[in-house]
């Protein structure tokens, strides 16, 4: 079947069918429905190659996401799922670029016209892809903030405010141990780690709380938790290896919310999966992805837009893992 057949069944011109598919001209809702009904009746699927030539669009969004086999991609799957759903809702497919090519991978997908737009993930503080993104002709959106974000479109969860909120939940304690990302994450230079740390340390200092920064190493998590507990610390802020930390606390015969305070940077699903549900700030990966894709398609339709940094707001959900009592307010900048 061809668009000519669709036009015949719908009783409209072939150009009207083309406009319905491309969206290049306004078409009445009634005419659009008639054409779409005819396409469904004929099980018509536009030829992707012909459509790309006619519209100068590939209908593909590239996601540039370096993949570490040792670490896996579990933490990224919520992002990828929402990006894919948003793309399909706008009749686009997703091309995942996982090779460790750095700027070459970004040049390749854009330079060969393999996509209409690019999403850059796993952003490092000193990200070499930032410079190349400014030269690309296709809309490019970073999920994360490189240090040099000038001229870029960037969106991310507000890790800084998330840190302040979590410290605030523990500010009734004189001392807090932050059990955080270890060398496997820090060595990758991921931008959110220093952002979170600087805000947490500033919030603790403002509240008069001593903050012990404890990077958790994958092969020593339980040992490190035991050492922190043996030192008498009764307030834990956790951003990494959450299941293992909670298990180690329980193995020590302690109960969050009764014997110590424990808060986490964790999704709602993660935070509520324990015997004692955890007070937590979620990074909202699905919200970040949905807002990113809405913005990206706006850029595609408008052709351009002002470079800016957008933050998805943080909020804390209080559950049972913090002992009741007054929580001093941590000043925000």
- We report the CATH number of the domain holding residue 22 as 1.10.260.40
Decide if 324 is inside a domain.
no
> What global pTM score does this model have?
0.79
78 and 99 share one domain: yes
- pLDDT < 70 regions, the chain: 22-24, 45-57, 67-74, 99-102, 110-112, 304, 325-333
84 and 116 share one domain: yes
297 and 274 share one domain: no
Decide if 86 is inside a domain.
yes
Bridge-based pairing of strands 153-157 and 308-312 is parallel
Domain that holds residue 231: 159-282
For the chain, the maximum distance between any two Cα atoms, rounded to a whole number of angstroms, is 80
Decide if 328 is inside a domain.
no
* E strands, 35-174, in order: 60-64, 93-97, 117-120, 140-143, 153-157
The token pair at 95 is 């091309």
Tell me: the pLDDT tens digits for 243-301? 999 999 999 999 999 999 999 999 999 999 999 999 999 999 999 999 999 999 999 88
The count of structural domains within the chain is: 3
84 and 224 share one domain: no
Q: Report the pLDDT value the prediction gives residue 190, as an integer from 0 to 100.
A: 92
CA 65 from chain centre, in angstroms, equals 12
265 and 252 share one domain: yes
Decide if 137 is inside a domain.
yes
Q: Report the pLDDT value the prediction gives residue 49, as an integer from 0 to 100.
A: 45
263 and 198 share one domain: yes
Query: CA torsion sign, 218 to 219 to 222 to 224?
Result: negative
Decide if 46 is inside a domain.
yes
Q: Report the pLDDT value the prediction gives residue 329, as an integer from 0 to 100.
A: 45
CA dihedral 271, 274, 276, 282 (to 10 degrees): 0
218 and 178 share one domain: yes
Distance CA 318, CA 320 (A): 7
How many Cβ atoms are within 10 Å of 153's Cβ, its own excluded? 21
Cβ–Cβ under 8 Å, residues 226 and 181: no
150 and 93 share one domain: yes
Distance CA 88, CA 80 (A): 12
From 55, 84, 99, the end of a domain falls on 55
14 and 119 share one domain: no
Q: Report the pLDDT value the prediction gives residue 46, as an integer from 0 to 100.
A: 64
129 and 275 share one domain: no
Q: Report the pLDDT value the prediction gives residue 53, as an integer from 0 to 100.
A: 42
How many Cβ atoms are within 10 Å of 302's Cβ, its own excluded? 9
Q: Smallest Cα–Cα separation from 211: which of 201, 220, 221, 202? A: 201
Tell me: the pLDDT tens digits for 179-210? 999 998 999 899 999 999 999 999 999 999 99
From 265, 282, 299, the end of a domain falls on 282
Bridge-based pairing of strands 93-97 and 60-64 is parallel
**3-state class of 180 per DSSP?**
strand
Distance CA 181, CA 190 (A): 10
The token pair at 57 is 């669009």
Cβ–Cβ under 8 Å, residues 71 and 38: no
14-22 vs 29-41: helix axis angle to the nearest 10? 100
Decide if 189 is inside a domain.
yes
88 and 228 share one domain: no
* E strands, the chain, in order: 60-64, 93-97, 117-120, 140-143, 153-157, 175-180, 210-215, 235-238, 261-265, 279-281, 308-312, 316-317
Q: What is the CATH number of the domain that holds 202?
A: 3.40.50.2300
Distance CA 118, CA 106 (A): 8
Decide if 153 is inside a domain.
yes
Cβ–Cβ under 8 Å, residues 109 and 133: no
Decide if 329 is inside a domain.
no
193 and 271 share one domain: yes
């Amino acid at each position: 079947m061809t668009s000519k057949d669709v036009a015949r069944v719908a009783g409209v011109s072939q150009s009207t069918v083309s406009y319905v598919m491309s969206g290049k001209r306004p078409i009445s809702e009634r005419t659009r429905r008639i054409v779409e009904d005819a396409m469904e009746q004929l099980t018509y699927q536009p030829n992707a190659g012909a459509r790309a030539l006619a519209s100068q669009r590939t209908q593909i969004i590239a996601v540039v996401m370096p993949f570490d086999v040792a670490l896996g991609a579990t933490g990224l799957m919520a992002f990828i799922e929402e990006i894919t759903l948003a793309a399909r809702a706008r009749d686009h497919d997703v091309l995942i670029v996982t090779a460790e090519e750095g700027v070459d991978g970004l040049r390749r997908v854009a330079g060969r016209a393999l996509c209409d737009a690019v999403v850059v993930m796993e952003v490092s503080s000193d990200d070499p892809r930032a410079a190349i993104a400014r030269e690309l002709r296709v809309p490019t959106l970073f999920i994360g903030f490189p240090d040099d974000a000038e001229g870029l479109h960037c969106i991310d969860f507000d890790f800084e405010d998330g840190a302040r909120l979590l410290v605030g939940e523990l500010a009734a304690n004189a001392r807090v141990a932050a059990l955080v990302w270890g060398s496997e994450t820090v060595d990758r230079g991921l931008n959110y780690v220093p952002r979170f740390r600087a805000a947490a340390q500033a919030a603790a200092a403002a509240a008069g709380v001593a903050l012990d920064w404890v990077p958790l190493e994958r092969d020593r998590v339980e040992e490190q938790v035991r050492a922190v507990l043996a030192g008498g610390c009764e307030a834990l802020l956790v951003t990494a290896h959450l299941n293992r930390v909670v298990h180690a606390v329980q193995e020590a015969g302690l109960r969050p919310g009764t014997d110590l305070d424990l808060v986490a940077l964790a999704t709602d699903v993660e935070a509520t999966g324990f015997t004692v549900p955890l007070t937590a700030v979620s990074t909202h990966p699905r919200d970040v992805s949905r807002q990113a894709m809405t913005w990206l398609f706006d850029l595609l339709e408008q052709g351009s837009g002002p470079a800016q940094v957008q933050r998805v707001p943080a909020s804390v959900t209080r559950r049972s893992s913090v002992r009741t009592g007054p929580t001093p307010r941590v000043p925000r900048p």
